[in-house]
Structure 1
């Protein structure tokens, strides 16, 4: 049986003038080259740290990227053979790493950490899509008409009212555990309601999943998997969870022991020479809420489009305790939405910007609204520009 030549044998034969026929390697596809390049980065990490990369929330950003990449490689059926000659540490065939970043690709991890990184085409595996990812995309796309949508329409309308009133908020989607029966999300620009959730199952990788019935506010539905909805929300830059209604008072106007969250409703007038502002100086007001001092909030007003690129004067403030700033501001803006000023101001670079927090409303009505906020009766009122008064709204 013939012995195989080693590299040293080849060198010796070469010095003796004997040519050795070299093994020919088949040309690799760009996809295979990307897999190998990504795997070599992981090997460098292992050589430096003496262990595979981990999905640690406190770990280095690149370690988390390599951990996700290793997961991806292990899921590729062709990777084991492709990397057989390189995988001296038996990484590609190793056990699954922790589930904490199970569905996050490189971009998703960076987005969660608020970091934008321009990736090198040598090290990214963005175009390597697993079968599970392709199935997730199909699940999102394959929607059908919801035959009993009229049953769900009032739920969507109620959620929208609660968002307008500040009883609900939208927050970035974070965890698979947030997907539960009865919850609302925003995905691909549409509200989605999880109407049904089947029994939890385990995937081949030992991860939990469940079949959902998801109703969308455009009258369609999908029987997608929980992991499919999760991936769709992670990949959608505007993907959001709609929070549940918050029980209890919006805020109190007296301090209780332990209350250290204070805030201020402020009312400003602009010194802008914009024709609309100049003609209605006593009626044009900016109404906002801040947990800072108002003086700090308006510092540099003349440089900010939200302040109409002009100095402002403080005409009223109302200090409050135990507030939720976002909910309170949404509520105030909902009350005065009919009097919202449609005004556009060029910023410092000449780009047009719409200022959204200015209203054509007299100060005495703002005072009345704040009083109704304090006594808890404001939810039934809106501002009527024709009568310049707060009126009960039709629910």
Structure 2
């Protein structure tokens, strides 16, 4: 048992001529404390999700913030040395780069603003429950609407959008960035559909940010002449605020885009190099199927450190480009098709905790290729996967 010395013990040791070493309290500057606190937040995120925060529009807004912050810590030697003793997860060894312009020059408040999140004042000056001038102005612009005199021109657009939402031709997703606000696009704010009918000349604010005057038509027959940043703030503050996606059109899978197509991502099929007995015995059948909007090579970087990749390197055995389609829904569809063949496997992550990855399946590669073809021609809804036959079979 280790006994802590009391003040009396120290005095006794001094009488006996034994010098007592007193540990000096480590003092850090406010900036160093912020860096450490920020890194600890990143660690908590990585521990919870099993990997370092990643960049990408489909990622949670705070994951993107953590990813940029981690990049800055990695790049600045002073910051790296400060948090290195805390880095038990190896987060400082990554090489991802920030996707926001000049991210290394921005503090957290500026990063949040760049990502479209309003920043509260520091606690010492914060007036709780009192909105900032900018927030008041944004709320007033959203609330102040006039009757849309030519609403009959726009009414068919709203009706068509609703039909396309009902049929699945369009979808809704969380609003993320100001760059999404363009003429001709639809949003849902304060429970109403909003259509950007016009967008004026882009200007630069005193803070160096872009803005523009909009004509926004609402589905209740009103309109508002508001600033782009006001609509952005309203969408960010509305938990139900959404962007209505563009209608799915053009090729679903193609090596080339046609004018008007928007690249959506890539379906990737991976084969594991893990030495786990279950994987080793079924190497040619065990495949991970996923969808990503980044390069597959970048997606699998550091696979041996991530539970989702079975803590092992992988081999790319198939990729399929896709356009104008909801990545998440497509991935869910593929996983639902092969659900009967989902691989039940438990592995240990870097911290010795059990993890059950959910994107690995015991399916031959040629069946995965067939499923992709049936998604392309629209017949996949008529098929299910039969593990006993190792084939897609017609329902019923």
Which interval holds the TM-score relative to the shorter structure?
0.3 to 0.5
Q: Which structure's CA Rg is the greater one?
A: 1
Q: State TM-score, norm by structure 1.
A: 0.42
